[in-house]
């Protein structure tokens, strides 16, 4: 589904990604781990198309289509979803209105009619229930004054609404207490199927107790230095990253 080939990326002339190779097939869960500053979030942002980063070499291919020249919204329309490490507060736009706009813009890009209001409402309620989100929460301004946990839960709620092919969860576990983590993980697991894939970006192994990865990759200094099965995560938790340098 996703092929990242020899990906190099700069920000302000400084090279952050130094040749990443990664292949993710439908139905798989991959985890990327690594110390601070290794380039984990950059990789997530580059796949999602953040313009601040300059791709100097290599490519990101989704279902055989090179995404390199696509704006972030077009990548989203093609099925890429990025759950932000720090979701942005947007005062004045409610959660409901935001997700309505996102859904309908995506449908428009696919040549579909807007989703009728009744169906939209039904869908919103269904997905909100899945993530144990209070209805009142949906009429609040997007992320404004949300706790860390509420923000992350809201990210997964949006993911549930948009049903992406490839979901990239950037540090979704940070800022979550154990109960919230369980809710979020349960949500992700329920949404997981044979046709989609998940890329987890995380610092700690904790999240991987709840969302079991098929593959774990260690990112260090802009390169994947080791790949393995889920047991690699435990090894990292025990030994830290130093032994890989």
Residue ranges binding another protein (CB under 8 A): 48-52, 71-73, 75-77, 80-82, 84, 87-88, 90-94, 97-106, 109, 114, 158, 162
Burial class (CB in 10 A: 0-12, 13-18, 19+), 16: buried
Distance CA 16, CA 11 (A): 7
Closest to another protein by CB, 52 or 126 = 52
Q: What is the DSSP string of 127-168?
A: HHHHTT--GGGGGSEETTT--HHHHHHHHHHHHHHH--SEEE
Distance CA 1, CA 62 (A): 6
Q: How far is the CB of 161 from another protein (least distance, A)?
A: 9
Closest to another protein by CB, 13 or 92 = 92
Task: Answer for the pair 17, 219: CB distance below 8 angstroms, yes or no.
Answer: no
H/E run at residue 239: helix 231-239
Q: How far is the CB of 112 from another protein (least distance, A)?
A: 12
Closest to another protein by CB, 71 or 212 = 71
Distance CA 213, CA 240 (A): 19
Q: Which two tokens stand for residue 71?
A: 């704006």
Q: How far is the CB of 172 from another protein (least distance, A)?
A: 14
Closest to another protein by CB, 171 or 224 = 171
| φ/ψ bin of 235: left (φ > 0), alpha (ψ from -120 to 50), beta (otherwise) | alpha
Task: Answer for the pair 79, 159: CB distance below 8 angstroms, yes or no.
Answer: no
Q: How many CA atoms lie within 13 A of 116 on its CB side?
A: 2
Q: How far is the CB of 189 from another protein (least distance, A)?
A: 22
Closest to another protein by CB, 73 or 179 = 73
Q: How far is the CB of 104 from another protein (least distance, A)?
A: 6
Q: How far is the CB of 79 from another protein (least distance, A)?
A: 10
Q: How far is the CB of 40 from another protein (least distance, A)?
A: 17
Closest to another protein by CB, 104 or 227 = 104
Closest to another protein by CB, 38 or 143 = 143
């Amino acid at each position: 589904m996703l092929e990242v080939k020899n990906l190099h990326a700069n920000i302000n002339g400084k090279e952050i990604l130094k040749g990443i190779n990664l292949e993710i097939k439908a139905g798989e869960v991959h985890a990327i781990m690594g110390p601070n500053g290794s380039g984990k979030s950059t990789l997530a942002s580059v796949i999602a198309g953040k313009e601040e980063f300059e791709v100097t070499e290599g490519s990101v291919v989704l279902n055989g289509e090179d995404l390199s020249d696509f704006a972030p919204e077009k990548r989203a329309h093609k099925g890429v979803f990025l759950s932000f490490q720090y979701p942005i507060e947007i005062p004045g736009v409610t959660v409901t209105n935001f997700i309505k706009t996102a859904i309908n813009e995506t449908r428009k890009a696919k040549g579909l009619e807007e989703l009728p209001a009744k169906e939209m409402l039904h869908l919103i309620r269904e997905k909100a229930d899945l993530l144990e989100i209070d209805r009142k929460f949906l009429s609040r301004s997007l992320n404004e004054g949300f706790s860390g946990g509420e923000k992350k839960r809201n990210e997964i709620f949006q993911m549930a609404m948009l049903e992406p092919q490839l979901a990239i969860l950037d540090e979704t576990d940070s800022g979550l207490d154990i109960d919230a983590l369980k809710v979020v993980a349960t949500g992700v697991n329920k949404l997981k199927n044979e046709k989609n894939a998940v890329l987890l970006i995380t610092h700690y192994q904790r999240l991987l107790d709840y969302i079991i990865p098929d593959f774990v990759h260690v990112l260090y200094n802009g390169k994947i230095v080791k790949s393995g099965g889920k047991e690699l995560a435990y090894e990292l938790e025990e030994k830290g990253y130093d032994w890989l340098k």
